[in-house]
Amino acid sequence: MRTTINRTKYFLKILTLVLICIGPALSVQGQTPDNPHGKFTIDIDCAACHTSTGWVPAKHNMDFNHNTDTQFELLGRHSVISCKSCHLDLQFSEPNIDQEDCASCHVDVHRGQFVQSCTNCHNMQSFQMVDGRRIHSSTLFPLTGAHMQVSCASCHNDDTHGAFANLETDCFGCHEQEYNNTTSIDHREQGFSTECEQCHTTVAWSPATFDHLQASGGFALLGAHNRITCESCHRTPGFETIFAVNDANDCFGCHEADYNRQHGGSGFPTDCQTCHNVNSWDDAEFEDHDRQFFPIFSGRHQGTWSSCQTCHENPSTFTQFTCFNCHEHSQSNTDPRHREVSGYVYDSQACYSCHQDGRGEDD
């Protein structure tokens, strides 16, 4: 009798151990209320994630493809985080999100400033890997010049943790302080335009260009005038003119000192453009010399001289000249040929009185 009782106890103990081992597995496979995962929306076997040795830990390499078996691919950082990062409990039916619905999991630090998808600017490797230049190119303010070299905080200095509020796109909206504090030219006092791009570029504030012709009332910066500093003609920062000129053609008004240094006492006209151009003083050409005085650009004397000093030995007065630097006449030979010439004198001035056209024949 006692033997029968002992065998019965032993059998019940074995049965209990078997139920403990296989009972949970049978319950999960049958999707009973005891399944902590609830009801799966896809057909998946427990052995795809668990082993027969225990529910935990789950398999490291599960026989379950999240990319194909769900509507959410595990790309970038999503492929290395734990299940708990997104699934806050064992009910894997949540969260039920779309691949592009980043804001369902991630806080919008931009506070609704952008309507585009997060992937327009960010990738799935890191939130910090952002191509600001490319992003700005799709806005009303593409980054060019010096703007490509500054940090985001240089302009978006009032934003916190990425809440980039829209800023003014005109230059003055950001650079009003630079406009008001100019030292070379007082922009505010002179009433300069606040459309900075009229004179400046995004590369740098200097050098600056502007329509001098319009601003000055008709004085175009041509030739050498386009290569000198503003201070050469203007007092800064008030920008008053240093020289008193009559109009844009009054070279003498600015270059009186240059004239006196080169032509003082010569009787040369003060219309500098008669001989000079706006590029350089050195390449002067007095082409009106032929009509007013003596033919040197035409006739027999064309190309026979090298500079003004060939005939005008005294640079202080061009009213004096000599013919004998080229015409080395012997007076003993010249005098007999002029015996019949009334008032003949062996002198350059006298030569010119008869030979004004540069020809050797008598006039």
How far are the Cα atoms of 38, 42, 227, 288 from residue 70, in angstroms, in the given order? Answer: 16, 9, 70, 93
Helix (H, G, I), strand (E, B) or coil at 234: strand
The string of pLDDT tens digits covering residues 279-325 is 988 877 777 788 878 888 888 888 888 878 888 888 767 788 888 88
Residue bearing tokens 């080395």: 328
pLDDT band at 28 (very low <50, low <70, confident <90, very high): very low
pLDDT reported for residue 255: 93
pLDDT reported for residue 171: 92
Worst-scoring range by mean pLDDT, 44-58, 114-128, 334-348?
114-128
Scanning the chain, the segments in alpha helix (DSSP H) are: 2-29, 66-69, 132-136, 152-155, 171-180, 187-190, 212-215, 251-263, 289-292, 331-337, 348-354
pLDDT reported for residue 361: 64
The string of pLDDT tens digits covering residues 202-238 is 998 888 888 888 878 889 999 999 888 888 998 877 7
For residue 235, count CB atoms less than 10 angstroms from its CB and return exposed for 0-12, middle for 13-18, buried for 19 or more: exposed
Mean pLDDT of 20-30: 49
Helix (H, G, I), strand (E, B) or coil at 240: strand
Residue 325 and residue 311 in contact, taking contact as beta carbons nearer than 8 Å: yes
Worst-scoring range by mean pLDDT, 28-42, 82-96, 182-196, 229-243?
28-42
Going by C-alpha positions, the residue among 154, 226, 237 that lies closest to residue 189 is 237
Cβ neighbours of 198 (radius 10 Å): 13
Helix (H, G, I), strand (E, B) or coil at 250: coil
State yes or no: pLDDT of 3 exceeds 60: no
This prediction has a pTM of: 0.46
State yes or no: pLDDT of 193 exceeds 80: yes
The DSSP letter of residue 148 is G
Worst-scoring range by mean pLDDT, 154-163, 226-235, 284-293, 347-356?
154-163
pLDDT band at 363 (very low <50, low <70, confident <90, very high): very low
